[in-house]
């Protein structure tokens, strides 16, 4: 493990070990929050980086999901919950269908009245101080859909953002859309400042395509052009890497 300010970085070797370690870390935070205050409020990310981590959480029989309130980080504007790339669909089919009902679930609707949805989410999330945020880092260094140059100033929890070309290209490469024309240009995203209000952050970041953003996260100056560098200001942030995503870190 290496530490950069308060950032804790783990090279787990292979992707399955990354998921096992990130999942165990996340499960421990959830159970501790429930034990301490009778409830855990969590933020969940989506995407291929989360597959292994979610499996560990699903398999943990000690988590009382009836005491968990969940928000998720982001959603495209303009696609329905039945679309292949919908994050509502992802979390339902890869997580919620496999665990007992949660105390409360907030899945972002980016298809209907987006302004009304933002108003609702922003009123809701302030009722639930977040104990744990499960996140990833994009190929362009984004956190949620906060593409560079990211807004480091807004205090609004959920915002409307424009997706840059690198972000939209990543969605095509990962197979969520057939081509760039099909990728939405805007999304609803949790803001970076609100993400950082979480008591703990657990980031799952596998694959060589994430090696450069991982390096930037740790070593670049904290700057809107490198959104994930803001993680270094968090008091309890854990980055779980595999051998490929950690490959550019010197002597690691």
- How do residues 175-233 score in pLDDT, each as one tens digit? 889 999 999 999 999 999 999 999 999 999 999 999 999 999 999 999 999 999 999 99
The stretch 71-92 carries a mean pLDDT of 95
pTM score of the predicted model: 0.94
Q: What is the mean pLDDT of residues 156-173?
A: 93
Please check the confidence at residue 251 and state whether its pLDDT lies above 90: no
Band (173; pLDDT cuts 50, 70, 90)? confident
* pLDDT tens track for 151-164: 999 999 999 999 99
Q: From 3.30.70.340, 3.20.20.10, 3.40.50.1360, 3.40.640.10, which CATH number describes the 2-241 domain?
A: 3.40.50.1360
Give me the pLDDT at residue 1, please: 45
Report, as an integer, the average pLDDT of 102-127: 97
Q: By percentage, how much of the chain surpasses pLDDT 70?
A: 97
Higher-scoring residue by pLDDT: 252, 45: 45
**How much is the pLDDT for 8?**
95
Domain ranges for the chain? 2-241
pLDDT of residue 170: 85
- Across residues 141-152, what is the average pLDDT? 96
Three-state DSSP string of the chain: CEEECCEEEEECCCHHHHHHHHHHHHHHHHHHHHHHHCCEEEEECCCHHHHHHHHHHHHCCCCCHHHEEEEECEEECCCCCCCCCCHHHHHHHHCHHHCCCCCEEECCCCCCCHHHHHHHHHHHHCCCCCCEEEECCCCCCCECCECCCCCCCCCCCEEEEECCHHHHHHHHHCCCCCCHHHCCCEEEEECHHHHCCCCEEEEEECCHHHHHHHHHHHHCCCECCEHHHHHHHCCCEEEEECCCCCCCCCCC
- Would the pLDDT of 80 be above 70? yes
């Amino acid at each position: 493990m290496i530490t950069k300010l308060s950032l804790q970085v783990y090279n787990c070797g292979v992707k399955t070990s990354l998921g096992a370690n990130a999942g165990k870390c996340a499960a421990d935070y959830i159970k501790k929050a429930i034990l301490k205050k009778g409830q855990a409020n969590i933020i969940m990310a989506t995407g291929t980086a989360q597959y292994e981590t979610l499996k560990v959480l699903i398999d943990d029989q000690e988590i009382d999901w009836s005491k968990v309130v969940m928000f998720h980080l982001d959603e495209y504007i303009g696609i329905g919950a039945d679309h292949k790339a919908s994050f509502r669909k992802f979390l339902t089919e890869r997580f919620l269908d496999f665990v007992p009902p949660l105390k409360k679930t907030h899945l972002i609707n980016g298809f209907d009245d987006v302004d009304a949805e933002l108003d609702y989410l922003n009123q809701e999330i302030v009722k639930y101080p977040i104990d744990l945020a499960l996140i990833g880092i994009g190929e362009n260094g984004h956190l949620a859909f906060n593409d560079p140059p990211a807004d480091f100033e807004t205090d609004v929890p959920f915002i409307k953002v424009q997706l840059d070309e690198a972000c939209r290209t990543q969605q095509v490469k990962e197979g969520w859309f057939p081509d760039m024309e099909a990728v939405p240009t805007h999304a609803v995203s949790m803001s970076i400042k609100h993400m950082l209000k979480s008591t703990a952050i657990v980031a799952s970041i596998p694959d060589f395509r994430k090696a450069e953003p991982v390096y930037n996260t740790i070593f670049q100056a904290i700057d809107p052009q490198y959104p994930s560098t803001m993680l270094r200001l968090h008091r309890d942030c854990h980055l779980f890497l595999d051998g490929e995503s950690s490959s550019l870190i010197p002597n690691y």
